[in-house]
């Protein structure tokens, strides 16, 4: 693959830049509650050298009843400054998660107008499999100034998505597993209806990765979207269960040069809870 410090970098690239003074590494691991895994405890036990831990649930909008909604600008600035992440830094994000949560944090930085941000291809698992260095010590963090310009076009709310669904003028793409998309199984979060947003197409996020956890090549990404019935000539809205894996679809669109994309932050946790919103089942 070709390394791109604005989207995706290899373990070789990161190893070569590991001691750059303006590099900041983030562990963005997050797990579905049913897994019983503790991302913070796992980070404390082993992480990449000098990595900071980004808590997706803690760095979120506490005014919302929905899980881990994008944080307000003021909170993001405060947390990043305390983590020693500021202007002029090259950021590399990784995870050790089944839901590839690093992409959600990549999207959050993009939402805040930061573009020198990449995901580590293959994450912690590939890094460790190659015998590269890890540690269990917390990094030394010094407060750094950070400037934020929120990119409102990168996020959509339920009203905007309902309008897009009705008008059919956007490609709405759902990252959930096919059986959830079709409404054949219960949602993992209780109280939600089963199905999908009318007009959406299904591209399960796992189809965008190789067996070793690395992302498939851009030409294969484009093929995956086309095979899912996605019209790439339209602006795209990505969605999933709660806005985490939708970010993988947004990232993949960026990788193939499709810049007109936004993420439905409430995703099915919000849509599936409203009885007055239409739902579809099956493949269509």
* Catalytic machinery residues: 240
Distance, CA of 222 to chain centre: 19
Exposure string over 71-107, b if 16+ CB within 10 A, otherwise e:
beeeebbebbbebbbbeebbbbbbbbbebbbbbbbbb
- Residue 205 has which token pair? 């996020």
The burial class, CB within 10 Å (0-12 / 13-18 / 19+), for 235 is middle
Exposure string over 120-154, b if 16+ CB within 10 A, otherwise e:
bbbbbebbbeeebeeeeeebeeeebebebeeeeeb
The burial class, CB within 10 Å (0-12 / 13-18 / 19+), for 112 is buried
- Residue 265 has which token pair? 């932050």
Asked if 11 and 120 touch (Cβ cutoff 8 Å), the reply is yes
Asked if 116 and 90 touch (Cβ cutoff 8 Å), the reply is yes
Q: Which residues partner with 8 through β-bridges?
A: 4, 119
Distance CA 122, CA 130 (A): 11
- Residue 39 has which token pair? 């991302």
């Amino acid at each position: 693959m070709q390394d791109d410090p604005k989207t995706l970098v290899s373990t070789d690239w990161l190893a070569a830049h590991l001691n750059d003074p303006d590099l900041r590494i983030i562990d963005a691991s997050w797990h579905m509650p049913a897994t019983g895994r503790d991302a913070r405890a796992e980070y404390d036990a082993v992480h990449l050298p000098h990595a900071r831990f980004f808590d997706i649930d803690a760095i979120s909008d506490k005014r919302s009843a929905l899980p881990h909604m994008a944080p307000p600008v003021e909170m993001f600035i405060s947390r990043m400054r305390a983590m020693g992440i500021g202007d002029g830094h090259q950021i590399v994000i990784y995870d050790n998660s089944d839901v590839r949560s690093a992409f959600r944090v990549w999207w959050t930085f993009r939402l805040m107008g930061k573009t020198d941000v990449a995901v580590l291809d293959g994450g912690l698992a590939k890094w460790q499999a190659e015998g590269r260095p890890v540690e269990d010590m917390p990094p030394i963090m010094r407060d750094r100034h950070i400037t934020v310009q929120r990119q409102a076009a990168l996020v959509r709310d339920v009203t905007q998505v309902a309008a897009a669904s009705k008008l059919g003028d956007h490609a709405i793409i759902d990252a959930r597993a096919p059986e959830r998309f079709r409404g054949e199984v219960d949602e993992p979060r209780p109280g939600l209806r089963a199905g999908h947003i009318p007009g959406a197409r299904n591209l399960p996020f796992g189809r965008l990765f190789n067996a070793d956890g690395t992302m498939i090549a851009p030409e294969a990404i484009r093929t995956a979207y086309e095979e899912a019935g996605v019209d790439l000539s339209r602006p795209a809205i990505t969605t999933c269960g709660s806005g985490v894996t939708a970010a993988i679809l947004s990232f993949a669109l960026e990788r193939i040069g499709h810049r007109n994309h936004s993420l439905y932050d409430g995703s099915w946790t919000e849509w599936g809870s409203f009885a007055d919103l239409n739902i579809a089942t099956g493949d269509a």
